[in-house]
Amino acid sequence: MADKTKYLKEKYEDMKEEGLTWTIRNLEGPSQPHVTVDGKECIMLASNNYLDLANHPRLREAGKKAIEDYGAGAGSDWSIAGTMDIHEELWDRIADFKNTGAGMTYQTGFAVNAGLVPQLAGKGDVLISDELNHGSIIDGIMIAQRMFKADKMLYSHSDMGELEECLKKADEEGYDNKIVLTDGVFSMDGDIAKMDEIQELANEYGALTYVDDAHGEGVLGGGHGIAKEFNVEDDIDIQMGTFSKAFGGFGGMLAGTEHLINYAYNTSRSWLLSAAFPPHVAAINIEALDIVEEEGDRVEKLWDLTDYFKKELESIGFDTGFSETPIVPAMIGDSKKCQKLADRLYEEGIFGLAIVYPMVAKGKARIRNQINAGLTKDDLNEVLRVYEKLGKELDLV
């Protein structure tokens, strides 16, 4: 029988030739500062596990206990028969943590954006988006345009002047609803949205605000996220995030008014048509929120390590772009050179990920270094030593 997928092989080979493919490496054990990757011991710099909670004993114990109490799985969709009391406990805990009227969970952060955004806007509404927003927001907007006839406007990255022009234009064209969507922390560059200015403009022009706080939770605002960082907890209309990054758990979250939550779980197909995540995941997520509030020194240590690493990496000669957070890119530019650097880092015992097109624009390849609160300065000094060595070896500095 003829292989009808042969054309995909050809496409893949073209991508490989351009240095645009991924090497999937396997962790042999938990995600933590020191890991074994495909049999090699490495310092981890590619994980979203910012607060080093993914292997925390309290999270492990919470998960074990919930399995004993509730079993292995939820058995159904949340909307049918999969919602357990521990899920609702987590939803209440999210609302408390985010200081909102209500909260809920989705299967993933991607599912929040791809499922909810299309339900927020239809014909006569406009979605106003930062050009560098996460792909899940972009997909959500595309669905809103194609299925529900919503309109879209883009503004240049973090350009408040352009955002205001979009809002003015939306007013002039008489849209029923205007929604400004932004990442809180932009995951490829590590810069922070100007949330106070965005919220001020949204208030002035009567627009809703939608914030993807996936990389801000556990990092900004003492761990509570971007709303607390900028003191706009009472203003942001829609906050989404994920437990799979700084919190060390799993699943997407949504926080806002009770009206928002009721509407979301009655309309989001990504929620309605997916199974509830297992009860032990809910227990782990609850425990993670407790730890973040109880152990503020974790966030402080994360920032101390971040500031040190960024300063020293720049002193070696690497460009860290616009980083303002524990996401500290080493900007390389050329995809093949970036892949080569990632391979050499791995050989030297550093697990750093090459980010290339289409994750970033062509010519903007970088190693995305992500700092973990469980690392030490000795760990970072070893990473810096290797970066200096390879920077000279590969003619990058």
Please write the tens of the pLDDT for every residue from 54-64. 999 999 999 99
**What is the value of pTM for the model shown?**
0.95
The CATH number that applies at residue 143 is: 3.40.640.10
CA nearest neighbour of 136 among 95, 179, 187, 208: 187
Instruction: Give the residue numbers annotated as catalytic, written as ranges.
Output: 187, 215, 245
Q: Are 11 and 20 contacting, i.e. CB atoms less than 8 angstroms apart?
A: no
The residue out of 270, 293, 316 marking a domain boundary is: 293
Query: Does one domain contain both 40 and 62?
Result: no
- Within 10 Å of residue 123's Cβ, how many Cβ atoms? 9
pLDDT of res. 379: 99
Distance CA 168, CA 171 (A): 5
Query: Does one domain contain both 144 and 275?
Result: yes
Q: What is the mean pLDDT of the chain?
A: 97
Query: Does one domain contain both 141 and 270?
Result: yes
Query: Does one domain contain both 80 and 174?
Result: yes
pLDDT of res. 2: 81
Does residue 9 lie in a domain region? no
Does residue 260 lie in a domain region? yes
Distance CA 243, CA 251 (A): 5
Distance CA 71, CA 64 (A): 10
Mean pLDDT throughout 315-340?
97
Distance CA 370, CA 381 (A): 15
- Within 10 Å of residue 69's Cβ, how many Cβ atoms? 12
- Within 10 Å of residue 9's Cβ, how many Cβ atoms? 10
Mean pLDDT throughout 77-83?
94
Query: Does one domain contain both 98 and 132?
Result: yes
Terminal CA-to-CA distance of the chain, rounded, Å?
52
For 78, the token pair is 């949340």
The residue out of 266, 293, 320 marking a domain boundary is: 293
Query: Does one domain contain both 352 and 300?
Result: yes
Residue with token string 């805990």: 93
Does residue 35 lie in a domain region? yes
Query: Does one domain contain both 205 and 106?
Result: yes
Query: Does one domain contain both 208 and 311?
Result: no
Q: Over the stretch 368-379, which tens digit does the pLDDT of each residue have?
A: 999 999 999 999
- Within 10 Å of residue 37's Cβ, how many Cβ atoms? 17
Distance CA 185, CA 218 (A): 12
Q: Which residues contact 347 (CB under 8 A, 6 or more apart)?
A: none
Query: Does one domain contain both 315 and 284?
Result: no
Domain span including residue 352:
14-44+296-393
pLDDT of res. 18: 84
Of 359 and 94, which is predicted with more confidence?
94
Phi, psi of 149 (to 5 degrees): 65, 25
pLDDT of res. 230: 98
User: How long, in residues, is the chain?
Assistant: 397
Beta strands 40-44 and 252-256 are unpaired
Does residue 86 lie in a domain region? yes
Does residue 4 lie in a domain region? no
For 329, the token pair is 């890119």
Query: Does one domain contain both 262 and 119?
Result: yes
For 25, the token pair is 């490496």
The total number of structural domains in the chain stands at 2
pLDDT of res. 357: 87
**Given pLDDT bands bounded at 50, 70 and 90, which one contains residue 148?**
very high
Does residue 121 lie in a domain region? yes
Query: Does one domain contain both 318 and 194?
Result: no
Does residue 3 lie in a domain region? no
pLDDT of res. 17: 87
Query: Does one domain contain both 374 and 239?
Result: no
The CATH number that applies at residue 331 is: 3.90.1150.10
The residue out of 244, 270, 293 marking a domain boundary is: 293
CA nearest neighbour of 367 among 375, 379, 384, 245: 384
Does residue 353 lie in a domain region? yes
pLDDT of res. 113: 98
- Within 10 Å of residue 387's Cβ, how many Cβ atoms? 26
**Given pLDDT bands bounded at 50, 70 and 90, which one contains residue 361?**
confident
